[in-house]
Amino acid sequence: MTSPNNVKKRKTTYHPVLIIGAGATGIAAGSQLRQKLGLKEFKIVDRQSGIGEFREYLNEISDKYQLASHIQLNTDVKELRWVEADAQWEVTLQHLVPGTGDLSTRDREDKATASGRESVYLHEEVVRAKAVISCVGILVEPNPWPSSILGRDTFKGDVFHSARWRDDIDLNGKDVVVLGTGCSAAQIVPSLLKEPYEVNSLTQIGRSAPWVMPRLSEPFGKEKYAKYAPTVYKWLPFLGYVNRVLIYLLVEVIWSTVFQMKHKKWRAAIETQQLAMMKEIVPEKYHDIMTPDYPYGCKRRVFDTEWLPSMQNSKFTLTNRPIQAVDGKELILGADGKATSGQQRINADVIILANGFEATRWLHPLSVYGRDGAALQEVWKQRGGPAAYMGMAVDGFPNFFIAVGPNTANGHHSLILTSENTVSYILKMIKPILSGKVDRVEVKKQAVTAWTKGVKKDLEKTVFVGCRSWYMDEEGYNSTMYP
Tens digit of each residue's pLDDT (9 = 90 or more) over 19-35: 999 999 999 999 999 99
| Distance (Å) of CA 170 to CA 165, 192, 196, 326, 376 | 12, 12, 11, 22, 43
- Which pLDDT tens digit goes with each residue over 104-127? 998 999 999 999 999 999 999 999
pLDDT digit string, tens, across residues 427-458: 999 999 999 999 999 999 999 999 999 999 99
The span from the first CA to the last CA of the chain, in angstroms, equals 66
The torsion angle over the Cα atoms of residues 169, 172, 161 and 348, rounded to 10 degrees, is: -110
**CA-derived radius of gyration, the chain:** 24
Please state which of the ranges 224-233, 373-382, 383-392, 395-404 shows the lowest mean pLDDT. 224-233
pLDDT exceeds cutoff 60 at 199 = yes
**Confidence check: pLDDT of 5 > 70:** no
- Taking alpha carbons only, the member of 220, 139, 230, 171 closest to residue 415 is 139
The pLDDT of residue 140 is above 80: yes
Q: How many CA atoms lie within 13 A of 387 on its CB side?
A: 22
- On the question of pLDDT at 219 being above 70, the answer is no
Q: Confidence class of residue 267 from pLDDT cuts 50, 70 and 90?
A: very high
Report pLDDT digits (tens) over 146-175.
888 999 889 999 999 999 999 999 999 999
Q: Decide: 353 and 180 in contact? Cβ < 8 Å.
A: yes
pLDDT for position 6: 41
pLDDT in tens, 37-52: 999 999 999 999 999 8
Per CATH, which fold does 152-215+246-353 belong to? FAD/NAD(P)-binding domain (3.50.50)
Q: What is the CATH number of domain 12-141+359-466?
A: 3.50.50.60
Nearest to 305, CA basis, from 428, 213, 389: 213
Q: Please, which pLDDT band fits residue 376 given cuts at 50, 70 and 90?
A: very high
- Residue 125: strand pairing partners: 93
Number of alpha carbons in the 13 Å side-chain half-sphere of residue 469 = 26
**Are the CB atoms for 385 and 477 separated by under 8 Å?**
yes
Is residue 131 within 8 Å of 401, Cβ to Cβ?
yes
Question: What per-residue confidence (pLDDT) applies to 410?
Answer: 84
Give yes or no for residue 36 having a pLDDT over 60: yes
Instruction: Say if residue 15 is exposed, middle or buried (CB neighbours under 10 Å; 0-12, 13-18, 19+).
Output: buried
The rounded distance, in Å, linking the Cα atoms of 365 and 106 is 10
Q: CATH 3.50.50.60 residue ranges in the chain?
A: 12-141+359-466, 152-215+246-353
Look at residue 9 in the predicted model and tell me its pLDDT: 43
For 376, half-sphere exposure in the C-beta direction (CA atoms, 13 angstrom radius) is 27
Q: Using CA atoms, how far apart are residues 106 and 252, in angstroms rounded to an integer?
A: 38
pLDDT digits (tens, 9 = 90+) for 329-359: 999 999 875 545 678 999 999 999 999 999 8
Q: How far apart, in Å, are the Cα atoms of 433 and each of 37, 97, 269, 437?
A: 12, 35, 52, 6
Backbone angles phi, psi at 104, to 5 degrees: -70, 165
pLDDT at 10: 54
Q: Enter the pTM of the model.
A: 0.91
Our CA angle for 10, 15, 17, nearest 5°, is 155
pLDDT above 60: residue 308 = yes
Mean pLDDT of the chain: 92
Residue % of the chain over a pLDDT of 90 = 80
Give per-residue pLDDT as tens, 356-371: 999 888 998 899 999 9
pLDDT computed for residue 3 by the predictor: 38
The mean pLDDT of 325-331, rounded to a whole number, is: 94
Q: 170 near 402, Cβ under 8 Å? A: no
